[in-house]
Amino acid sequence: MRLTAVRRSPVVPVVIVALLVGLNGLSGQTPPRTYTNPIDIDYRYNFEQHNEGISYRSGADPVIVVQGGQYYLFETIGDGYWRSKDLGTWYHITPSRWPLNDVVAPAVLSVRDTIYLLPSTTSPLPIMMLTKPATGHIDFYNRLLPWLPMARAYEPRDSFAKPDSVQPGPWDPQFFYDPDTDRWFLYWNSSNVYPLNVIELDKSKQLAYKGTPHWLFGLDPVHHGWERFGQDHRDSTVKPFIEGSWMTKYNGRYYLQYGAPGTEYNVYSTGVYVADNPLGPFTYAPYNPVAYKPGGFVQGAGHGNTFQDLYGNWWNTGTPWIAVNWNFERRIGLHPAGFDKDGQLYVDTRFGDFPHWLPTKARRNTDEAFTGWMLLSYHKSVTASSTRDSFPARNMTDENPRTFWVAAENRPRETVIVDLGRPYTVKAVQVNYADYKSGLYGTDSTVYTTFGLSSSLDNKTWTRIAEVPDSPRRDRPNAYLELATPRRARYVRYEHGHVGAANLAISDIRVFGNGDGPSPATPTGLAATRDGDERNATITWQKVPNVVGYNVRWGIAPTKLYETYQRFADQGTTLELRALTVGQSYWVAIESFDENGVSRLSAPIPIR
């Protein structure tokens, strides 16, 4: 998470009242088997732009850790943290003590029976600890860290930082404990001037700093195309940012992950350097980026963490962007991940905003996590009971969270009807609200969501298929409802109950399920040409009639096509891929998808 002027003052811990939360979800609903992105939590309203009158929900820089057989999620401006037993249903916990200015991009690590927590900071703060996180009780582990060694004010913008200095901090910190050596480390930074840093910590002194920081590495956008700033890596006027470090040890090697090039664009990604020692030297992984999702509904996958679930499966969290009200308006994404037989770290973002199975056992590969439930609602006809100004109902099926519908009034019984065009088997619906002049700068008891969903085959006879009820009350800005029983339906109706915002605004109602027809044809005519600038390549293919979209899948070998760039059919059949590393060879293949399923993958071809 980037440091901005509003965040430079120290945060001061205070004791606040603990809030015990009730059940999450629908009354009588069976536990969900699936989830989709953005994950369904009660993202909190942010106070930081209150004086500017900018109201939006916050969700960014996530860390999920496992403690006592449960999952705990920490993020930026969360008024606390969340607990889950299955990675799908999350309970918000307001803790017994919490920094007055909340927490930004925290360092969080679970070791044995303790979760250690350190917010991003520019001056000394305590390290907090949680030994009973389900209760919300927090203690101080280190009442006050010393000043970061070698810290001094920012260097001039026209010159790189001096190697005997680090920024005041640590900002975007992350703990790492090496169980094989019993050593502790802190990695940190968020800067387009300074590189990532690491310092060893002294456990005998409550994780105080030990020695002086080590400079590690910065960005190299001249050679790494994906590290270039801007929408689709096209802004050469701004130096890109390196931030959000996370360390994973696998098979004796150290994988230091980092976010780049900027959280406020679709190409926010995670890269990795690898070393044999936690202090380095680190080597750039030729397969970067490892988490990349520039297309589809949820765009952006940078600045998160990599963890194993209760069954040993690997996952990676990230920070998708919204950026309607504020550049740093974001959400949280969760994607299957893994290491292949060669030790290559990968994050599977293919169909990354379609429903995926929640873990119940060890999986053989990340493909098993995808349900095969397809998007049924893309650009389908929508009618609404009322509409305000230039916010039409058709925005709700365009798969773009930066466009939205606004009702004439925020009142109960406003309705939206999505016509899928013909009957399908409907299995899940996601309702994504937008903030349009919401007028909220904090989340209180008035901020909650209620609505009902009904289906019909003829637009006359309706059956209730799911609901978010009035009790227990919870805010669900990205509500995902898996149907208890699949329903045959052509029409899906949203029936409004309550939102806490001043206006009722919905960006997208996304309907998932399956059609009855055969899967679409595999695209033909695939061609891939490397530009004179080796960071870029042009990918083309022949149109497949009536499909919803395509997945361009690429990687460093025909058997390592771990990257996916999703394109909707109305975006054309040409893609400029601007995420390549100079001197590295690549292969590419393509598949199409529609409401019925996914085509076979084409034969991979080299990008030349």
Read off the CATH number of the domain in which 555 is found. 2.60.40.10
Q: Of the candidates 369, 395, 417, which is a domain's last residue?
A: 369
Q: Could you tell me if 136 and 230 lie in one domain? A: yes
Number of domains in the chain: 3
Find where tokens 């037993």 sit: 85
Residue 27 reports pLDDT greater than 90: no
Look up residue 150 and give its amino acid.
M
Tell me the residue range of the domain where 461 lies: 375-514
Q: Is residue 142 part of a domain?
A: yes
Q: Could you tell me if 300 and 249 lie in one domain? A: yes
Q: Of the candidates 369, 394, 427, which is a domain's last residue?
A: 369
Q: Is residue 28 part of a domain?
A: no
Q: Of the candidates 369, 399, 429, which is a domain's last residue?
A: 369
The verdict on whether omega for the bond into residue 472 sits within 30 degrees of 0, i.e. cis, is yes
Mean pLDDT of 100-129: 97
Phi, psi of 393 (to 5 degrees): -65, -30
Q: Among 334, 335, 343, 341, which Cα is nearest to 366's?
A: 335
DSSP 370: B
Q: Could you tell me if 360 and 388 lie in one domain? A: no
Residue 11 reports pLDDT greater than 70: no
H/E stretch holding 270 reads strand 269-275
H/E stretch holding 218 reads none
Mean pLDDT of 355-378: 98
Count CB-CB contacts under 10 A for residue 226: 24
H/E stretch holding 151 reads none
Residue 161 has a pLDDT of 72
pLDDT tens across 566-584, in order? 999 999 999 999 999 999 9
pLDDT tens across 218-239, in order? 999 999 999 999 999 999 999 9
Q: Is residue 17 part of a domain?
A: yes
The verdict on whether omega for the bond into residue 261 sits within 30 degrees of 0, i.e. cis, is yes
- The CATH number of whichever domain residue 510 belongs to comes to 2.60.120.260
Q: Is residue 27 part of a domain?
A: no
- Farthest-apart Cα atoms in the chain, separation: 73
Q: Give the burial class of 452: count Cβ atoms within 10 A of its Cβ; 0-12 exposed, 13-18 middle, 19 or more buried.
A: middle
Q: Could you tell me if 346 and 380 lie in one domain? A: no
Distances (CA, A) of 298 to 2, 318, 476, 499: 20, 11, 17, 22
Sheet arrangement for strand 345-347: 306-308, 314-318, 333-339, 345-347
Q: Is residue 322 part of a domain?
A: yes
Q: Could you tell me if 356 and 242 lie in one domain? A: yes
pLDDT tens across 517-569, in order? 999 999 999 999 999 999 999 999 999 999 999 999 999 999 999 999 999 99
Q: Is residue 522 part of a domain?
A: no
Q: Could you tell me if 386 and 502 lie in one domain? A: yes
Q: Could you tell me if 188 and 207 lie in one domain? A: yes
pTM assigned to the model:
0.94
Q: What percent of the chain lies above the pLDDT cut of 70?
A: 94
Q: Could you tell me if 458 and 488 lie in one domain? A: yes
- The CATH number of whichever domain residue 175 belongs to comes to 2.115.10.20
Question: Mean pLDDT score of the chain, rounded to an integer?
Answer: 94
Phi, psi of 90 (to 5 degrees): -115, 135
Residue 159 has a pLDDT of 59
Q: Could you tell me if 391 and 266 lie in one domain? A: no
Q: Could you tell me if 342 and 264 lie in one domain? A: yes
β-strands 537-540, 549-555 pairing: unpaired
C-alpha to C-alpha distance for 115 and 138, rounded to whole angstroms: 10
Q: Could you tell me if 411 and 463 lie in one domain? A: yes
Residue 18 reports pLDDT greater than 80: no
List of residues 6+ apart from 183 with CB closer than 8 A: 177, 200, 278
Task: Provide the sign of the torsion angle of the four alpha carbons 52, 53, 56, 59, taken in this order.
Answer: positive
Q: Could you tell me if 348 and 417 lie in one domain? A: no
Residue 482 has a pLDDT of 98
C-alpha to C-alpha distance for 192 and 241, rounded to whole angstroms: 4
Mean pLDDT of 395-414: 98
pLDDT tens across 473-525, in order? 999 999 999 999 999 999 999 999 999 999 999 999 999 999 999 999 999 99
Q: Is residue 519 part of a domain?
A: no
Task: Provide the sign of the torsion angle of the four alpha carbons 139, 143, 148, 151, taken in this order.
Answer: positive
Q: State the pLDDT confidence band at 31, using cuts at 50, 70 and 90.
A: confident
